[in-house]
């Protein structure tokens, strides 16, 4: 791996509810008012090399989108920093400092301003940041429309005139028009039809080849992530529980959560698998309002022991990847 | 345990049944304005109301050319013609269709001239209140924290007072005159716009397209005015329609109470007030006809506003 490019350094995010005086009085009087915050991301560190694609996988609510928003400089972390080539992506005051990290959002029906034409959507950022001039904007925009496989004649049209796949192409073109090095893709195909998903995934692969982009690719779809990623990180309840190259992680998952995730993927029936049932993960993801002590996964883990309740495991090299699980660091029993 | 056999092999492009096809043809663009009008036309009440508003506005604008008399040119008035009932043919030889007032003014002419002033005050006050209130609401929604609390608590406080009370106090403090009256009307009404703009903007700023704008990044001013503002216009247009009608009514009320415009600029409210003392003596027309004109105008504007609201509210869509 060459030098890290985008570095996420011990980043945490906590969402605190706005507690008013009234809430406090009500709580004192015995009302059930939520005064605690949600710890969405807990002490996550990641480094992505130039040209690399890091897949980030996890269940809904595990904090992967929050982590993506912090990586993209949309949201300020509660603690920790995100740096691009050593320079912070966001000021402490919450102002984004770079245009070289851009974002593609999940829902292309929500991420495009319905009152702006395609041309305006694509040209706004580049003109505001001097990547093109107002006079040249039309050609500039047309170039990026070509790149994402859209017709140049679409510049004057509005988002509601397009299908989901076309809208996602517009959203990708908007991000690319800022000439980023890093693209944070937050579930970019989750809301698309399967056939369209494949087209968009191929577009991401083509763009990476042509432009040398670095991706942080967030998804809950293990197949999609494996297809596009060099390395994969598995997230559970705000923490990275396992990270490694896609090949190693899929061939030999170590963390019980990763194992369970991969086992729960529906797959085609092969001879020996006919009639076999998928193994869903038992139980529900715990509430991030009240995360369990110790290893966050111990409430659902088949291998959990007393040490898992008492002690939070660290990410340590295990096999070809790094895993946060006591199974690989001395067992789940408490040391005497 | 791992589904290696059937999952996608890494990095190969997915083969598709259809090639990376030319995107599906996009339906020909329908002008949103035309679509809006097509839907508006379905309600005949709303169409009539709109026609009335247009007619009243035209009549008010063209008043100097279509009225038989300039009611505020003293030289035109004849006391011989004072307090005559509707249909009376005056000394000048034309029919006073709506009668005359205590100074011998032709009431139809006076009403049309009064409408000019009423409409002017309502429009100017409504539009100023729209821009002031919207800006405050947007600033509150965007800045959050103490600024938000400060602005919105003041707005809430003001909304708990009747508008007429506030306007009365302000007119009493500022004195009479067009500017002062407009200031009082704006102060009494901006809060409605601020509330609406704040609520809509607070909902809008959580949407992905605003996050996308932050992700570029774009300046806060650009995000607020180029992205959020155009998307909260529909509810603001509805409030504006209703508030223009309310400004007209409020101005008429103030003028009726003698706190509105000076006597040289008589609005409908003052005409009603002037005729009020004759109501009990059977000379009903001096008050009633300006009152009817006022009611028709306000009801018509409100009906138009209702229809626009119904059309812009997706929950009421069939």
* CATH code where residue A64 lies: 3.40.50.300
Partner residue opposite A163 with nearest CB, options B10, B22, B24? B24
Candidate from A112, A115, A262 with C-beta closest to B3: A262
pLDDT at A168: 95
Per CATH, the homologous superfamily of domain B63-88+108-316 is MetI-like (1.10.3720.10)
Reported as a single tens digit per residue, the pLDDT across A90-134 is 998 888 999 999 999 999 989 999 889 999 999 999 999 999 999
Burial state string for A183-193 with b = 16 or more CB within 10 A and e = fewer than 16: bbbbbbbebbe
DSSP E strands in B166-248: the ranges are none
- Tell me what pLDDT residue A9 has: 92
Alpha-carbon distance of B85 to B81, in angstroms, equals: 10
- Mutate which: B18, B217, B226, vs A, most A CBs within 10 A: B217
Which residues in chain B are closer than 8 Å to A253, comparing Cβ atoms?
Answer: 1-2
- The residue among B307 and B78 whose pLDDT is bigger is B307
- Please indicate if any CB of chain B lies within 8 Å of the CB of A220: no
pLDDT recorded at residue B265? 77
B5–A250 C-beta distance less than 8 A: no
Under an 8 A CB cutoff, do B212 and A174 touch?
Answer: yes
Q: Which of residues 56-75 of A touch B (CB under 8 A)?
A: 69, 72-74
Name chain B contacts of A113, Cβ cutoff 8 Å. Answer: 209, 213, 227, 230-231
How many folded domains does chain A comprise?
1
Cα distances (Å, whole numbers) of residue B255 to A261, B139, B186, B245: 74, 34, 16, 15
For the segment A46-54, the average pLDDT, to the nearest whole number, is 94
B68-84 burial, b at 16+ Cβ within 10 Å, e below that, comes to bbbbeeeeebeeebebb
Query: How far is B83 from B94, CA to CA, in rounded Å?
Result: 15
A70, A204 Cβ separation under 8 angstroms:
no
Give residue ranges of B with CB < 8 Å to any A CB: 1-11, 13-14, 16-18, 20, 22-24, 26-27, 29, 207-209, 211-219, 222, 226-227, 230-231
Instruction: State yes or no: pLDDT of A2 exceeds 70.
Output: no
**Cβ within 8 Å, pair A149-B23:** yes
B228: distance to nearest CA of chain A, Å? 9
Min Cα–Cα distance to chain B from A301, Å: 16
What span, in angstroms and rounded, lies between the C-alpha atoms of A6 and A71? 8
Q: Report the pLDDT value the prediction gives residue B8, as an integer from 0 to 100.
A: 46
Alpha carbon A102 to chain centroid, angstroms: 13
**How far is residue A237's CA from residue A139's CA, in Å, rounded to a whole number?**
45
Mean pLDDT of B94-113: 83
Is B6–A267 a contact, with Cβ atoms under 8 angstroms apart?
A: yes
Who among A113, A125, A229 is closest to B209 (CB)?
A113
Closest CA in chain A for residue B20: A199
- Beta strand segments in chain A, E: 6-15, 38-48, 53-57, 79-84, 87-88, 101-104, 182-186, 214-219, 231-236, 239-245, 316-318, 321-323
Does residue A122 belong to any structural domain of this protein?
no
Tokens of B251: 């101005």
Residues from chain A that touch B29, judged by Cβ atoms under 8 A, are 157-158, 161
Minimal C-alpha gap between B139 and chain A (Å): 18
> Any residues with CB less than 8 A from the CB of A122 and at least 6 apart, and which?
A141, A144, A145, A155, A170, A173, A174, A177
Cβ contacts of B161 within 8 Å, gap of 6 or more = none
Residues of chain B contacting residue A192, judged by C-beta atoms under 8 Å apart: none
A113 contacts A165 by C-beta, under 8 angstroms: no
CB A86 within 8 A of CB A257: no
CB neighbours of A4 closer than 8 A, spacing ≥ 6? A47, A48, A49
Chain B residues closer than 8 Å to A175 by CB: 215
Task: Say if the Cβ atoms of A96 and B7 lie within 8 Å.
Answer: no
Q: How far is CA A89 from CA A2, A70, A100, B104, B143, in A?
A: 20, 9, 9, 77, 22
Nearest of B210, B104, B17 to residue A199 by alpha carbon: B17
Cis upstream peptide for B187 (omega within 30°): no
What was the pLDDT predicted at A269?
58
Burial of A55 (0-12, 13-18, 19+ CB in 10 A): buried
Mean pLDDT of B141-151: 88
Confidence of residue B93 (pLDDT cuts 50, 70, 90): confident
Cβ-based contacts of B24 with chain A (< 8 Å):
163, 166
- Does B186 have pLDDT greater than 70? yes
Is residue A253 scored above 80 in pLDDT?
yes
> Could you count the other beta carbons within 10 Å of the beta carbon of residue A69?
24
A330 located within any domain: no
pLDDT at A288: 78
Residue A13 belongs to domain spanning = 6-100+180-251
Least confident of A39-53, A66-80, A151-165, B266-280: B266-280
Q: Which of residues 243-282 of A touch B (CB under 8 A)?
A: 246-247, 250-253, 259, 262-263, 265, 267-268, 270
Q: Which of A192-206, B75-89, B284-298 has the lowest mean pLDDT?
A: B75-89
In a domain, residue A258? The reply is no
Residue A25 tokens, joined: 């009085």
pLDDT at position B12, please?
Answer: 52
Q: For residues A307-317, give the mean pLDDT.
A: 90
Specify the pLDDT at position A1.
41
Q: How far is B45 from chain A (nearest CA, A)?
A: 30
Rounded to the nearest integer, the mean pLDDT of chain B is 84
For B209, which of A111, A247, A262 is closest by C-beta distance?
A111
Question: Would residue A105 count as lying in a domain?
Answer: no
C-beta atoms of A74 and B211 within 8 A:
yes
Residue A40 lies in a domain: yes
pLDDT tier at B129 (50, 70, 90 boundaries)? very high
Nearest to B231 among A105, A114, A161 (CB): A114
The verdict on residue A205 lying in a domain is yes
DSSP A156: G
Range scoring the smallest mean pLDDT among A59-63, B37-41, B99-103, B154-158: B99-103
pLDDT category at B318 given cuts 50, 70, 90 is very low
User: What residues does each domain of chain B span?
Assistant: 63-88+108-316
Q: Provide, as residue numbers in chain A, all residues whose Cβ is less than 8 Å from the Cβ of B218.
A: 124-125, 128
As a whole number, mean pLDDT of residues B33-49 equals 89
In A51-144, beta strands by DSSP E? 53-57, 79-84, 87-88, 101-104
Mutate which of B19, B35, B209 to test chain A, going by most A C-beta atoms within 10 A? B209
The pLDDT of residue B305 is above 70: yes
């Amino acid at each position: 791996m060459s030098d890290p490019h985008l570095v996420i350094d011990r980043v945490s995010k906590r969402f605190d509810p706005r507690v008013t005086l009234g809430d406090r009085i009500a709580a004192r009087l015995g009302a059930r008012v939520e005064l605690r915050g949600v710890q969405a991301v807990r002490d996550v560190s990641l480094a992505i090399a130039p040209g690399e694609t890091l897949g980030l996988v996890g269940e809904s609510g595990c904090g992967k989108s929050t982590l993506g928003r912090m990586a993209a400089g949309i949201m300020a972390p509660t603690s920790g920093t995100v740096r691009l080539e050593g320079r912070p992506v966001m000021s402490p005051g919450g102002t984004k400092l770079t245009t070289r990290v851009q974002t593609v959002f999940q829902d292309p029906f929500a991420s495009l301003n319905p009152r702006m034409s395609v041309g305006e959507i694509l040209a706004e950022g580049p003109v505001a940041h001097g990547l093109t001039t107002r006079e040249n904007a039309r050609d500039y925009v047309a170039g990026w429309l070509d790149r994402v496989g859209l017709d140049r004649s679409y510049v004057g049209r509005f988002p509601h005139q397009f299908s989901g796949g076309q809208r996602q192409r517009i959203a990708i073109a908007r991000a690319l028009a800022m000439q980023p090095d890093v693209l944070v893709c937050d579930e970019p195909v989750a809301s698309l039809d399967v056939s369209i998903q494949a087209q968009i995934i191929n577009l991401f692969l083509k763009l990476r080849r042509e432009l040398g982009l670095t991706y942080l690719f967030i998804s809950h779809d293990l197949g999609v992530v494996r297809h596009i990623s060099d390395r994969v990180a598995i997230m559970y309840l705000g923490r990275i529980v396992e990270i490694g190259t896609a090949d190693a992680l899929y061939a030999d998952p170590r963390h019980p959560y990763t194992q369970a995730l991969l086992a729960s993927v529906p797959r085609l029936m092969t001879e020996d698998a006919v009639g076999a049932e998928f193994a869903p993960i038992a139980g529900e993801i715990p509430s991030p309002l009240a995360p369990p002590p110790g290893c966050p996964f111990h409430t659902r883990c088949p291998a959990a022991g007393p040490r898992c309740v008492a002690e939070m495991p660290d990410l340590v090299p295990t096999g070809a990847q790094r895993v946060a699980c006591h199974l690989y660091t001395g067992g789940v029993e408490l040391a005497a | 345990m791992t589904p290696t056999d059937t999952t996608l092999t890494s990095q190969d492009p997915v083969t598709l049944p259809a090639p990376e096809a030319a995107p599906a043809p996009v339906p020909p663009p329908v002008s949103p304005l035309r679509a809006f009008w097509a839907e508006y036309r379905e309600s005949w009440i709303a169409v009539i109301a709109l026609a009335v508003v247009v007619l009243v506005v035209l009549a008010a604008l063209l008043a100097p050319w279509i009225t038989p008399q300039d009611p505020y040119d003293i030289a035109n008035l004849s006391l011989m013609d004072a307090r005559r009932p509707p249909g009376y043919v005056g000394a000048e030889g034309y029919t006073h269709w709506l009668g005359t007032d205590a100074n011998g003014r032709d009431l139809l002419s006076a009403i049309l001239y009064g409408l000019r002033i009423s409409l002017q005050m309502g429009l100017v006050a409504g539009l100023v209140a729209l821009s002031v209130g919207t800006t405050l609401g947007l600033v509150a929604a965007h800045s959050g924290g103490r600024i938000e609390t400060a602005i919105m608590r003041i707005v809430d406080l003001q909304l708990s007072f009747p508008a007429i009370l506030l306007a009365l106090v302000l007119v009493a403090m500022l004195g009479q005159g067009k500017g002062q009256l407009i200031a009082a009307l704006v102060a009494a009404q901006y809060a409605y716009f601020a509330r609406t703009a704040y609520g809509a903007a607070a909902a809008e700023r959580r949407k992905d397209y605003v996050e996308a704008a932050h992700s570029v990044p774009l300046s806060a001013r650009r995000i607020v005015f180029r992205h959020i503002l155009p998307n909260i216009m529909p509810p603001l247009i509805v409030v504006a329609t209703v508030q223009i009608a309310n400004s007209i009514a409020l101005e008429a009320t103030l003028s009726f109470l003698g706190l509105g415009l000076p006597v040289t600029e008589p609005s409908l409210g003052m005409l009603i007030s002037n005729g009020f003392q004759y109501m009990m003596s059977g000379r009903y027309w001096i008050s009633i006809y300006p009152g009817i004109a006022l009611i028709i105008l306000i009801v018509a504007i409100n009906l138009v506003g209702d229809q626009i609201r119904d059309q812009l509210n997706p929950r009421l869509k069939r």
